[in-house]
Chains A and B, each alone.
Chain A
Amino acid sequence: MSHGLVKRLSLCLCTALLVSSCAKQNKQAFYNTGIIYCSESNPVTFNPQLDTSSTTSDASSHQLYDRLLDFDPGSGRIVPSLASSWLVSDDGLTYTFQLRKDVWFHTTRYFEPSRNFNADDVIFSIDRWRLRSHPYHYVSGGRYPYFESIGLAQNIASVERINGYRVEITLKRRDSSFLANLATDFAVVLSEEYANQLVQAGTPSKIDEFPIGTGPFKFDSYRKDHFIKYLRHNHYWRTQILKDDEVDSSAAQVSTKQRQEHAPLLVEQLIFDITPRSSLRLAKLMTGECDATAFPAQTELEVIRTKDDLILAEKPGLNIGFWAFNTQRPPFDNPDVRRALAAAIDKNTLLEAVYFDSATRAKTLLPAASWAFQNDADDTAYNPVLARKLLANAGVAPGFSMTIWAMPVERAYNPNATKMAELIQRYLRDVGVEATIVSYDWATFRRHLQEGLHDSVLIGWSADNGDPDNFYRPLLSCGAIPSGTNRAMWCNDDYDNLLNKAIQTDDIEERRAIYKQVNRLLYERLPLVPIAHAYRYQAYRNELEGMTINPFGGVRFGGVEKTL
């Protein structure tokens, strides 16, 4: 170490110690400039088209990108985003999107956009997952799990550019959940200009590692197992007021008019502190090293509730935990037997004992967050006397034995399936049914389920968007038996016809009416007993303002402010 350096260091040290005493004010202002979020794991990529895990979409979807459409977190309705308006043709096959002008892509050290967002970017983003012949299709693996699972690529006939700010998408078959699919976390809009530049540079896969989007934050740096750093996107279209020369002025100067228009004010930095251990995330939240954390464990909720400076936000999530009967095996092919077993259990006790009241009772497949939720739907009730009578009428002798398969993993929709199975076992004994609990490791469990070796199973489903079709179709339609999501192995033509009828129309009221019929049908036939919709939790410090739980996917920080 040179003499000069030593001098410089000691000088710095002295100033540091001197200044530190009067830095309190300064400190608060500085800490307000960044939000730290303790996330649970490393994202697989920074492009949510390529991965459906919530870690990936948390880290990318709402931070870096925008979609053509968005879900309104409150009502679940589809609202404009990059598309300012859209038209659907009368036959329901052609969708025309009018795109927003003056939307800027991120300027970073690895990319400088020369033009604003336009139709080319939309076409590029959709064609990338839609067309196998697209030069970018096989970059980074070539798998687009969300779009594959709903078969969207096969249903799109063409994506055409009408003019610079108008795009027309033509479908092969009517699909009223199409718009909802475009609003999911996975349907993000990438930059076509950036993609072209990368192709010329010979490094196309960088598009998913060094992302460019139009979202509220731009990517700065990522160290695996440590952190992801984002900086404010100064030209974010929702906060157009922050033009170049005003960027330096403090956030307080942004007019209140903008606030009224719900334009998000952005903090300068957003940091994801990757902390896999749940207890450590909670500890960091308590000491203020994190401002918000992902997935607090069920057992930690009480601790968070007792702290004054922590806020635990909860919202019913888009999920359903249920008890499905294998309707292809007698006597479970008899709806009366299924109804009898449903009447034998007390759902409220299950909610208390298994979910610790962190869930709402499910009457239908749909949680309250969905727009098609039916408040007055019929529900089964605890009635052992009726259960015994129904069983006797159906010819099921006392002492009949059956299996309950309990899934071996924890999920929000069922945090402890084994415990639930034990409770159900006891209820069934009261009505003269002997139940055995079966469990395998997760892979074997699912394989055997698909083969239909179970009598009944405790399992559930988490949906990707608020569209009711995302619940009804994969869970109980005939087509879902081979793909392995229809755990009741139930196939009913009336049911399938109703579902198809529902996505043939775009009139929300009409669809709602159809889903009411569906709910009624399910109540009568009862291929599965809906048990609970688990809450989604988010814990954060009370310094954060504007945090909302987004029931339709990942966390979003655009619009969150911090005041120490």
Chain B
Amino acid sequence: MIQILVRYCTLFVLTLLVLTIISFSLAYLFPGDTLENLTGLVPQNEIQRAALERQFKLEQSYIFQYIYYLGNLLTGDWGYSFTSGLPLREEVGIAMPATIELATYAMLMALFIGIPLGYYAGIRSYSTSDHLINSASITTYSFPVFWFALLLILIFSLELDLAPLSGRISLIYDIEPVTGFILFDVLLSDIENKSLAFKDALSHLALPTVAIGAITTAAMIRITRRSVIDVKHRPYIAAAVSRGLSSWQIFFRHILRNALLPILPLMAIQITTLITNAMIVETLFSWPGIGNWLIQAIYQRDYPALRIGMMAVSTVVITLTILVDLFNRLIDPSREKYERATV
């Protein structure tokens, strides 16, 4: 057990180190003068240039610069955005939770709708209801997420006027960011009309969550269904049937848990897709998350922001992936045997 933990930790740290090397070298790979890319300033003369180079340690060797960069990352000194002049840590600190919040709700939606539907379709495999669910999920899965989001906006916001189309909450409400999760922040704030604010935040969440969640839900349905069908044809199910167990008993004792095991690792892959989709959908709904923020940074050629943004997003994805993987190991020790050599 400890061995596994150590191995995962090493993997995690090494991957992050590789990432820092990439993000560090971005400053040199971006087109243009490295100094200007890093500082956003155009030195007027050689003296100024030398001073800036000293300040940003550019006159030192690459190795030293890298260590210096690593030190800054670890101490939380992430530099400043060219465009807003604010510390990048603060900016990422506001944008990141917004994305995670959206992705979390979409994931919850996928789990609570996708898995039960998948089970249902799997148990009733090749019946009419299974065909219906299956074709619906294939259709949804083939939607490009940006197109689906636009469709939702067009129908539910502009035509039916049921949900707002941009932002996290009406700007009329003055919500202090505490956790970065809008629903919790509303509940923790001490504004009057809290219930109104909560409702408003929910209605803002509805469309983007559905837009992101739909595709993951479809994926969940298909994965679960496949897994249930596989389990159904295992010999131990036949044995259970022959023992005279009722179909409910078979489902709860044998299918439910065994079908879940193969789903979990596939979920880890879905997390990456989910966050990517969240970043795309954010820009359509003007959701102030990391995707929207990165797009702005690209438009403005805000190189330090791009560097840190890339670091932040990949750190989150890697952390989640490794955590899910670790979790799989813990609940399914059988994988240990044949996968030992692959890590």
Contacts of B198 in A (CB 8 A): 12, 16, 20
Contacts of A36 in B (CB 8 A): 170-172
At the interface with chain A, which of B33-41, B133-141, B159-167? B159-167
**Given A16-B187, A16-B198, 13 extra CB contacts under 8 A:** A15-B195, A16-B199, A20-B198, A23-B199, A26-B193, A27-B196, A31-B172, A36-B172, A280-B166, A283-B158, A287-B161, A288-B161, A288-B164
Contact B171 A271 (CB under 8 A): yes
B282 nearest CB across to chain A (Å): 13
Contact B172 A289 (CB under 8 A): no
Contacts of B172 in A (CB 8 A): 30-31, 33-34, 36, 269, 271
Partner of A13, one of B153, B165, B187: B187
Contact B184 A9 (CB under 8 A): yes
B163 nearest CB across to chain A (Å): 8
* A143 at interface, CB cutoff 8 A: no
Partner of B157, one of A9, A23, A227, A287: A287
Give the contacts of A177-225 with B (CB-CB under 8 A): 224-225
Contacts of A27 in B (CB 8 A): 196
A29 nearest CB across to chain B (Å): 9
Question: Which range holds the interface residue count of chain A?
Answer: 20 to 34
Contact A26 B83 (CB under 8 A): no
Contacts of B171 in A (CB 8 A): 34, 36, 227, 229, 271, 273
Partner of A287, one of B164, B184, B286: B164
Contacts of A271 in B (CB 8 A): 171-172
How far apart are the CA atoms of A13 and B186 in the complex, in Å? 10
Contacts of B188 in A (CB 8 A): 9
Given contacts A33-B172, A229-B171, contact A284 B165 (CB under 8 A): yes
Q: Which residue of B lies closest to A271 (CB)?
A: B171
Partner of A283, one of B157, B194, B288: B157
Give the contacts of B2-37 with A (CB-CB under 8 A): none
B165 nearest CB across to chain A (Å): 6
Contacts of B158 in A (CB 8 A): 283, 286-287
Which 5 A-B residue pairings sit nearest by Cβ, starting from the closest?
A19-B195, A12-B187, A34-B172, A16-B198, A16-B195
B280 nearest CB across to chain A (Å): 16
Tally of contact residues, B, Cβ under 8 A: 26
Q: Which residue of B lies closest to A227 (CB)?
A: B171
Q: Which residue of B lies closest to A31 (CB)?
A: B172
How far apart are the CA atoms of A136 and B158 in the complex, in Å? 49
* A538 at interface, CB cutoff 8 A: no
Residue in A225, A226, A227 whose Cβ sees the most chain B Cβ within 10 Å:
A225
* B128 at interface, CB cutoff 8 A: no
* A477 at interface, CB cutoff 8 A: no
B197 nearest CB across to chain A (Å): 9
A326 nearest CB across to chain B (Å): 37
Listed A/B pairs (19) with beta-carbon separation below 8 Å: A12-B187, A13-B187, A23-B196, A26-B196, A27-B196, A34-B171, A36-B172, A229-B174, A269-B172, A271-B171, A271-B172, A273-B167, A275-B286, A280-B166, A283-B157, A284-B166, A286-B158, A287-B161, A288-B164
Interface flags for A1-36 (1: CB within 8 Å of B; 0: not) read 000000011001101100110010011001101101
A436 nearest CB across to chain B (Å): 36
* B334 at interface, CB cutoff 8 A: no
How far apart are the CA atoms of A280 and B166 in the complex, in Å? 9
Contact A289 B166 (CB under 8 A): yes
Q: Which residue of B lies closest to A13 (CB)?
A: B187
Contacts of A34 in B (CB 8 A): 171-172
How far apart are the CA atoms of A30 and B157 in the complex, in Å? 22
